[in-house]
Structures are given as C-alpha cells and as structure tokens.
Amino acid sequence: MTNFAQNSRAVHTPGQDDAGTCFNIQDVNLYYGSFHALKDIHMDIPARQVTALIGPSGCGKSTLLKSLNRMNDLIPGCRITGKVELFGEDIYAPQTEVNLLRKRVGMVFQKPNPFPMSIYDNIAYGPRTHGVRSKVKLDAIVEHSLRKAALWDEVKDNLKKSAMAISGGQQQRLCIARCFAVQPDVILMDEPTSALDPISTSKIEDLVLEMKNEYTIVIVTHNMQQAARISDLTSFFLLGEMIEMGNTDSLFSNPTDKRTENYITGRFG
Amino acid sequence: MRSHFDEQLHKLNEEMIRMGSMIEHAIEQAGILMASRDAEHARTVIAADVEVDRKEREIETLCLRLILMQQPVARDLRLVSSALKMITDMERIGDQAADIAEIISMPVKGQRYVYPELLQQMGPAAGTMVNRAVDAFVKRDVDLAHEVIESDDVVDALFNDVKKELLQTMKKHSEFGMQLLDALMIAKYLERIGDHACNIAEWVEYAVTGTYKGDKL
C-alpha cells in the first residue's frame, strides 16, 4: 500500500516562492459512461500557490478537481485514463490507499457540509478516524485548526454547540478548519463561496490567501473577479478541454486564446 | 451577450473619436494663428478649450462607470484603461493649443516679429502626429502607432533648430526680446504636443496588444 499520509509529504516552508510541482497531470481522459468529460488534459499545478479553474458549466473543471483526490471513484460508470501524480506519486496506482490520499488532499464544497454534531466533534472527527485519542491532543488540534480558519474567536465559548446552528459563512470556515485538522498538503475548493454573502466570501478569500503559505489550493469558481483576486494561476476549460493556463494577471489582461478572451469578457458561456 | 456593455464600449469609442477631432481642430487652428496672428480668432480657439475639458470629464465618467458596473477584463479592460490614460494627454494637447492661441492674442508693442519658417513647420508636424495617433486608435492600427512614435524625432529636431534660430535672432534683434521668448514658448508647446501624441500612440499599442513600452502589463 502506498501510505499517502507518510510518504513524500511536502516539506512546508511558509513564504517559499518556488515549492515545485504539486500535481503533475499527464494525458488525462475521463469518461462518465460514454460521455467524454475530460479530454487529453496535461497540466502542472504548482505547490503552495492558488490555482483557479474557470469555465462555463459542464466544461469539466469540477470533474478535474474531483479527480485530484479520486472523488470520482464514487460515481458509477466513471473511468479515467492517464496519470495524476501528487508530488511524484501516481494517485491512481493500484496500491494507493484512497482514504489516506483524501486525508492529504482535502476538499471544501459549494454548500457547507458540516457533520450533524458539535463544532468540536466536527474538527476532531478526522484526527479520531486516523487514531488520535488523547483529549489534550484533540483539544490542541481543534483550537489550532479553528484559529487557522479564523473561526476560533467566534466559537471558542460554544464548542459544544451544534455545527448546524452557526451561520453559512461560519460553517464553510468550519469545513476548512476540518481539512486543517488532518494536516493536508492540498485543499481543493469547489465554488466555496457561491452560497455565501459578500462579507463571508471576503473572509474565505482572505483565508485562502493565508492558506497558500502552507497548502496548495485548487479552486473552482464561476466568479471571474474572485479568480482574479485570489489565484496565482488560472486555467480555462471548455467542453472538457483545457484551453489555456497561465499567470492570472496575464490571463485576465491579455489571454492568448480567443475562446478564453470571449469567455472572460462575457461574450459567451 | 453583454449587448448593453458592447453598446457602452461603442459609445466610448465614438466619444474618443469626437474628442480626437476636437483636439485635431484646435491644433490646426493654432497653426493658422501662427501665420495670421488674428487676435479675435485666437480668442475663439481659447474658448473652445472648455469643450475639450468637458469632453474629458464625460469620457472619464463613462470609463469609471464601465469599470464599476461592468468590471471589464482582457481587451475590454485594456480599451477602457487606455482611454482613461489617453484623454489626459488629449486634454493637455487642447490646453497647449489654447496656450499658443493665448500668446498670439496678446497685443504687441512696437514692430511685430514674424515667426520663422521652421516654427511654422512645427505646427503641421505636431498636428500630423496628433491626427495619426487618433487615427491609430480609431483603426486599432499598431503599425501606425509606431510610426507616430518614430515621427516624434522630426518634431524634436525642428524644436532644436527653432531654438538655435531664435537665439541667433535674439543676439541681433534685442528689440524682439519678449516676442522671441513667446516664440520659444510656442515651440515648446508644439514639442510637448508631439510628446502627448506619442503617449496616445503608446496607449493605442497597449489597447490592441497588451504591451506598453515593450512590457506586458
């Protein structure tokens, strides 16, 4: 078994500029039954940077995101060819232990999905699953994770409160804190602010910018301004193909492909 | 899609062309004034500058509203941001044409000094630069924009020659002292108009290609 929790974990050096390649995606094709959802995708996702995936609905960006921690495995009829390497290891190799992969590659969804339990237990759930039993250790993990998610001050006196009772913005930050608790390398975010108000969105965006000092972030967003605000690299998808990838500044000021230009300027999609 | 946005961008384009033709007219009139020295005509050129200033405000408001409401990116953002920069140069060209007219409108004591031929040539030379810079914007013609930038050397060379000639005249005809200084001011205004035309051409290149003075912005 490939132990993704222990093997070749990226060494975190906050503020380091060039941390190498996190995901190396080679010639990936993905099918839902007969539908060809991803076509010949080649891309490198750099470590400890924010990479935004943009494109119209149905273009394959969320499919690609889910293929990075094998969430697509759960979809009947889904088939993938090609190679996805995480820091040099093929995540689709037969010996890969998927639970450990998902520990290392966390995910935050469009709609906050806290577990129907207390705030504390939401955070402690992952570490407990991976064998942490000490109350002292769990307390420390919960506080550390909530602090990193800029939620601690808001909930520290109500850790036993149901996670279902806090606001949507707080729930989303709780889900991010839940990712932190298992010390991932990567956090995948699938339209994480589309259900949030502008203030909650702003808090999540600030958080993303802080997170990239320690984590690789891949974010799917329909909000062009959000991609421009928080991402270092942007990749444009259309009809299952990756059309263009580049520095966010360049892509939004002077895209090289006409289809990218037409999409980001709102001429189609 | 985005038909309202496209209509506003079209309007921006039209307003830019309108402001361009206003400053082309102003500099053309300044050239005529250098020969005619018609004070009454000069006052109408000075008065017309208010309209150039007003047009600048209108375009500025339109651009800021486009940025606020439409949050343009890529070529749209380049067009709007270039327009915002270009109107500053266009407004200055209008000011400098009015400044030339103001010098000419002033009464002269004693014998009138006839402006040298080289100075008279500077008017059309700078005016052509402005015409072509505006034309480059209208046609989104990067080659023409480059030609404008290169032609600035011609105006600069004329300015240097005019300076030398005025200096020689000053040595021989001290009675024209103040008028010679005014002529030097006019030459400097025309040289600056050439510089502003260059700036416009550089922003045309950015609007079309995303490159400004050789750098990708």
Tens of pLDDT along A175-188? 999 999 999 999 99
Nearest Cα residue in chain A from B78: A253
Q: Cβ A266–B217 below 8 Å, yes or no? A: no
Model confidence band, residue A9 (pLDDT cutoffs 50, 70, 90): very low
Q: Which of B125, B122, B113 is nearest to B188 (CA)?
A: B122
Task: Calculate Rg over the CA atoms of chain B.
Answer: 19
User: Does A252 sit within 8 Å of B71, measured CB to CB?
Assistant: no
Q: Which residues of A touch B71 (CB under 8 A)?
A: 224-225
Q: A268: pLDDT confidence band, cut at 50, 70 and 90?
A: confident
Q: Which of A225, A253, A268 sits opposite B74 (nearest CB)?
A: A253
What is the percent of chain B with per-residue pLDDT over 70, rounded to a whole number?
Answer: 100
Tell me the pLDDT tens digit for each residue of A108-146. Answer: 999 999 999 999 999 999 999 989 999 999 999 999 999
pLDDT over threshold 90, residue A53: yes
State the DSSP string of A196-257: S-HHHHHHHHHHHHHHTTTSEEEEE-S-HHHHHHH-SEEEEEETTEEEEEEEHHHHHHS-SS
State the architecture of B3-216 in CATH terms.
Answer: Up-down Bundle (1.20)
CB contact under 8 A, B73 and A254: no
Taking domain A21-264, whether its CATH number is 3.40.50.150 is answered by no
- Give the tens place of pLDDT for each residue, A198-213: 998 998 999 999 999 9
Task: Give the dihedral of Cα atoms A209, A217, A188, B77; nearest 10 deg.
Answer: 70
Query: Are residues B73 and A265, on separate chains, in Cβ contact within 8 Å?
Result: yes
Nearest to B146 by CA among B79, B208, B78: B208
Identify the three-state secondary structure at position B146.
helix
Determine if residue A191 is left, alpha or beta; phi over 0 gives left, psi from -120 to 50 gives alpha, anything else beta: left
CA-based torsion, A170, A173, A178, A180: positive or negative: negative
Quick check: A266 and B5 CB within 8 A?
yes
Q: Where do the domains of chain B lie?
A: 3-216
What pLDDT score was predicted for residue A17? 52
For residue B180, what are the contacts with CB-CB under 8 A and spacing of at least 6? B113, B166, B169, B170, B173
Q: Give dist(CA B216, CA B213) in Å, integer.
A: 8
- Residue carrying structure tokens 């470590």: A47
DSSP state for residue B215 in the 8-state scheme: E
| B124 at A interface, C-beta within 8 A | no
Contact B78 A265 (CB under 8 A): no
**Positions of chain B with pLDDT lower than 50, given as ranges:** none
pLDDT tens, B174-189? 888 899 999 999 999 9
Q: Please state, for a pLDDT cut of 90, what percent of chain A lies above it.
A: 85
Give the distance from residue A62's alpha carbon to the nearest chain B alpha carbon, in angstroms: 23
- Surface-to-core class of residue B202, CB atoms within 10 Å of its CB (0-12 exposed, 13-18 middle, 19+ buried): buried
User: Beta-strand (E) ranges in chain B?
Assistant: 211-212, 215-216
pLDDT for res B99: 96
Asked if B212 reaches chain A (Cβ–Cβ under 8 Å), the answer is no
C-alpha to C-alpha distance for B63 and B90, rounded to whole angstroms: 15
Q: What pLDDT, in 10s, does the model give residues A16-39?
A: 457 799 999 999 999 999 999 999
Tell me the C-alpha distance between A230 and B144, whole Å. 38
What tokens appear for B125 in the block? Answer: 């030379």
Q: Give the pLDDT band (50/70/90) at residue A13.
A: very low
pLDDT in tens, A66-99: 999 999 998 999 999 999 999 999 999 999 999 9
Chain A hits for B2, CB-CB cut-off 8 Å, are 265-267
Q: What share of chain B is helix, strand, coil (3-state, %, to 5)?
A: 85, 0, 10
C-alpha triplet A206, A99, A26: angle, nearest 5°: 75
DSSP code per residue over B181-203: HHHHHHHHHHHHHHHHHHHHHHH
Residue, of A55 and B3, whose pLDDT is higher: A55
Place of tokens 């966390």: A106
Contacts of A204 (CB under 8 A, 6+ apart): A169, A172, A173, A176, A192, A193, A196
> B93: which residues sit within 8 A by CB, 6+ positions away?
B23, B26, B27, B130, B193, B196, B197
DSSP string, A78-140: EEEEEEEEETTEETTSTTB-HHHHHHHEEEE-SS----SSBHHHHHHHHHHHTT---HHHHHH
Backbone angles phi, psi at B112, to 5 degrees: -85, 130
Kindly report the backbone phi and psi dihedral angles of residue B193, in degrees, each rounded to the nearest multiple of 5, phi listed first. -60, -40
Token pair in block for residue A166: 């806090």
Q: Which residues of A touch B (CB under 8 A)?
A: 224-225, 228, 250, 252-255, 260-261, 264-268
Report which secondary-structure segment, H or E, holds A53.
Answer: strand A50-54
The sign of the dihedral angle between the CA atoms of B186, B188, B192, B197 is positive
Strands A50-54 and A35-46: unpaired
Choose the closest CB to A253 out of B2, B5, B78. Answer: B78
Q: Is the pLDDT score of A269 beyond 60?
A: no
Tokens standing for residue A148: 């990193």
Q: Does B74 touch chain A (CB under 8 A)?
A: yes
Rounded to two decimals, the pTM is: 0.81
Helix (H) or strand (E) holding A28: strand A21-32
Gap between the Cα atoms of A213 and A215, Å rounded: 6
Out of B71, B72, B74, whose CB is closest to A255? Answer: B74
Which amino acid makes up residue B109? Answer: K
Mean pLDDT of A232-255: 95
Question: How high does pLDDT run on average in chain A?
Answer: 91
In this predicted structure, the answer to whether residue A2 has a pLDDT above a threshold of 90 is no
Is A253 in contact with B71 (Cβ distance < 8 A)?
A: no
> In this predicted structure, what is the pLDDT of residue B193?
97
At B142, the amino acid letter reads V
User: CA end-to-end span of chain A, whole Å?
Assistant: 43
- Looking at this protein, which amino acid is placed at residue A196? L
